Amino acid sequence: MPSLLDTRRNKLKLTTEDQNRKYVNKKLLKAGHGLITDWTPSGKVEARVYEGAWIVDCPRKDCRNAEFADPDWPVFVCRNCRMGPLEVTFPKDRERIEEVLKERPVPQRRNWFTSETLADLRAENAKHLKGAD
């Protein structure tokens, strides 16, 4: 099922694995890094939602970059520090998280952290959307 929120695929219009790999390598070259030839993930990172888009924060402590993520191509490579490729994991209840966040009329308020539960998101919606009709 397609994502209800923004993803790498619908933000960047990349639909195939080959397109994604070429895009990432192009960005790496532009940043002065070498090309990736072996796309075997060397670890895992978790996706989160920021302002209505699935993203992954670079796990390298001194980097602080983030990249769009997509459940259809769950691969992370940081174009800032060249960390990766890493496998991106999404929550098992991704679609329900997206549905709750889509209830928020302002995209900048559509945020979800891996420490939050569905109940947390619903409680936030109830608190902030009361009277918003």
Q: What's the pLDDT score for residue 133?
A: 44
What residues does each domain of the chain span?
8-129
Query: pLDDT tens, 109-132?
Result: 999 999 999 999 999 999 987 755
Three-state SS annotation for 3-59:
CCCECHHHHHCCCCHHHHHHHHHHHHHHCCCCCCCCCCCCCEEECEEECCEEEEECC
For the ranges 10-14, 60-64, 95-99, the lowest mean pLDDT is seen at 10-14
How does pLDDT run across 25-69, given as a tens digit for each residue? 999 999 999 999 999 999 999 999 999 999 999 999 999 999 999
